[in-house]
């Protein structure tokens, strides 16, 4: 009996032997195709760190496949193959021996729609496998979502904990409660020593990629002299082991903190490895839980970390696929103001924004409070264009793919999705930022002032947002206290604050 010969396309964010297109493959019959293509690298201006990370990791994974005996066709960026389809077509023409093309489903609706047309263009069947690296299938999420009147991650997360038996004692959550978020909100006061991060040497493969990316994507953001990411599964596991041993014990305490002294604090920095396939989510959770069970990590930190993986990560992916393509068109507050040019330079006097944007541009990384409560909060209050802000986030971060970026940006940060993701806007004044860290100490703006040249812009913009959307926000039970406070202020005081905020927006480029 003749064995089926399969051409298996491996996307750059699917570098796992557990992914379904590879899990039952055979080096005796199957050929693997990898492609560094201009279309995927440039449809937004992706950070050089993301491109370098994915190209280096993909090249190393291809080398591993060769060592396993697979035939590999690899297209490098300098071969100028423009699209993934072209890479597959070129291989089929040169080797017309394959019965079908197989691949794991992509993480972006745009690419999924493109792939649905491939079979007609290729002349052979194109089999797209559901991505089983996630812990909640599309069918399982839909079954959960169809039963909900409102979507709330907390209840989804509890169901995942039970189903996966993570941090459970029989049928009860460890410690007697599901969520320890209230214990994980300390601001940064520079009282703890932050361990030194593991550094991976730049090997020959990675250095070659860095040189190529600098040449081919010179106009993209990113300072590759600071490149320090793991680029294979072994390195990613070493990074995870160090995090669990040295950083997890303080992860929860400082996960919402902002610090002049550190860009990473005690955060995991594993999202990029999970999202590209170098780490598996179930294994990561099991290792974290083992640290708690062994007494080397507190419950609040461990629960908060695991919640980000089996709760938040799975939830945002489910929301994305459940609501697309309509989700990408939502714009609750009709926000349309152009993004200021300093989003691409970091040249703003607002210290928190300067620090968060500067490091995002340079390294492709910012932690969730910088993304949500500094950059995202400003974007919400200033009414910046939803589509422009979403494209900026997708371009900026090494861990960003549309399935994870869009719900987090459009839904959480911009509250533009008609309340699907969050029960209220994540809007805050400068007082929140001052509470969470020490950026304000080196800022020319004062978080205690609302109007005037020394006033923190977040303050008046916050109240302007409340004023402009007062009727809608007043219907939200979680916003009643704030909207009530605003209504109680004297009319001339409200007018003065809103006028000052309007002036700030008129000269936003100079803030």
pLDDT digits (tens, 9 = 90+) for 131-190: 999 999 999 999 999 999 888 999 999 999 999 999 999 999 999 999 998 888 888 888
Query: What confidence score (pLDDT) does residue 349 get?
Result: 98
Q: Tokens 């492709």 — which residue?
A: 364
With a cut of 70, say whether residue 415 has pLDDT above it: yes
User: 3-class secondary structure for 219-287?
Assistant: CCCCCHHHCCCCCCHHHHHHHHHHHHHHHHHHHCCCCCCECCCCCCCCCCCCHHHHHHCCCCHHHHHHH
Structure token digits, residue 96: 């017309």
Query: What confidence score (pLDDT) does residue 2 get?
Result: 52
User: Where do you find CATH 1.25.40.80 in the chain?
Assistant: 138-322
Could you tell me the fold of the domain covering 341-510? DNA Cyclobutane Dipyrimidine Photolyase, subunit A; domain 3 (1.10.579)
User: Where do you find CATH 1.10.579.10 in the chain?
Assistant: 341-510
Check: CATH 1.25.40.80 for 138-322? Answer: yes
Q: Which one is predicted more confidently, 23 or 280?
A: 280
In whole angstroms, give the CA distance from residue 223 to residue 397: 13
**Average confidence score pLDDT of the chain:** 96
8 A C-beta contact, residue 272 and residue 221: no
Q: Tokens 């916003």 — which residue?
A: 479
The predicted model gives 409-425 an average pLDDT of 95
Contacts (Cβ under 8 Å, ≥6 apart) of 221: 45, 47, 48, 344, 361, 362, 364, 395, 396
Cis? peptide before 325, omega within 30° of 0: yes
In whole angstroms, give the CA distance from residue 20 to residue 25: 9
Helix locations, 28-137, DSSP H = 38-42, 48-67, 84-94, 109-115, 118-122
8 A C-beta contact, residue 447 and residue 456: yes
Structure token digits, residue 287: 């290792």
8 A C-beta contact, residue 230 and residue 273: yes
Measure Cα distances from 343 to 76, 357, 401 in Å. Answer: 31, 7, 19
With a cut of 60, say whether residue 1 has pLDDT above it: no
User: Where do you find CATH 3.40.50.620 in the chain?
Assistant: 6-129
The predicted model gives 214-221 an average pLDDT of 97
H/E run at residue 172:
strand 172-173
Angle at 471 between CA 465 and CA 473, to 5 degrees: 60
Could you tell me the fold of the domain covering 6-129? Rossmann fold (3.40.50)
With a cut of 60, say whether residue 354 has pLDDT above it: yes
């Amino acid at each position: 009996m003749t064995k089926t010969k399969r051409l298996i396309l491996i996307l750059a964010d699917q570098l796992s032997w557990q992914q379904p297109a590879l899990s039952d493959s055979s080096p005796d019959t199957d050929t693997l195709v990898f492609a560094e293509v201009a279309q995927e690298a440039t449809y937004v201006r992706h950070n050089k760190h993301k491109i370098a990370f994915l190209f280096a990791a993909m090249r190393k994974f291809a080398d591993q496949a060769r060592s396993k005996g697979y035939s590999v066709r690899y297209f490098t960026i300098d071969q100028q193959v423009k699209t993934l389809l072209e890479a597959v077509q070129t291989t089929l023409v040169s080797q017309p021996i394959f019965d079908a093309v197989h691949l794991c489903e992509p993480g972006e609706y745009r690419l999924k729609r493109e792939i649905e047309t491939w079979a007609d263009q290729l002349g052979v069947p194109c089999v797209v496998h559901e991505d089983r690296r996630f812990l909640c299938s599309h069918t399982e999420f839909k079954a959960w979502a169809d039963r909900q009147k409102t979507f709330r991650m907390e209840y989804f997360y509890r169901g995942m904990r039970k189903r996966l038996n993570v941090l459970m004692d029989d049928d009860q959550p460890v410690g007697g409660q599901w969520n320890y978020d209230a214990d994980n909100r300390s601001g940064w006061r520079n009282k703890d020593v932050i361990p030194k991060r593991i550094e991976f040497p730049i090997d020959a493969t990675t250095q070659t990629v860095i040189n190529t990316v600098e040449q081919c994507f010179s106009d993209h953001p990113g300072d590759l002299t600071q490149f320090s990411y793991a680029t294979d599964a072994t390195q990613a596991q070493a990074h995870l082991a160090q995090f669990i041993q040295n950083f997890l014990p303080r992860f929860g305490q400082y996960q919402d903190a902002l610090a002049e002294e550190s860009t990473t604090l005690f955060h995991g920095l594993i999202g990029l490895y999970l999202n590209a396939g170098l780490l598996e989510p179930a294994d990561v959770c099991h290792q974290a839980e083992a640290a708690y069970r062994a007494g080397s990590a507190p419950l609040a930190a461990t629960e908060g970390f695991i919640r980000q993986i089996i709760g938040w990560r799975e939830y945002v992916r489910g929301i994305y696929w459940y609501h697309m393509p309509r989700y990408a068109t939502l714009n609750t507050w009709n926000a349309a103001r152009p993004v200021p040019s300093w989003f691409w330079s970091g040249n703003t006097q607002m210290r928190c924004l300067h620090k968060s944007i500067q490091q995002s541009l340079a390294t492709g990384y910012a932690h969730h409070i910088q993304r949500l409560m500094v950059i995202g909060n400003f974007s919400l209050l200033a009414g910046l264009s939803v589509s422009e802000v979403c494209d900026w986030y997708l371009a900026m971060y090494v861990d960003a793919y549309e399935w994870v970026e869009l719900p987090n940006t459009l839904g959480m940060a911009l509250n533009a999705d008609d309340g699907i993701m969050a029960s209220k806007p994540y809007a805050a004044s400068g007082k929140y930022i001052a509470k969470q860290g020490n950026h304000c100490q080196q800022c020319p703006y004062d978080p205690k002032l609302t109007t005037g040249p020394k006033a923190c812009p977040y303050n008046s913009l916050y109240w302007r947002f409340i004023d402009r959307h007062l009727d809608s926000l007043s219907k939200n039970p979680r916003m009643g206290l704030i909207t009530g406070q605003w209504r109680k202020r004297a009319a001339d005081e409200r007018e003065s604050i809103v006028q000052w905020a309007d002036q700030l927006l008129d000269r936003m480029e100079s803030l």
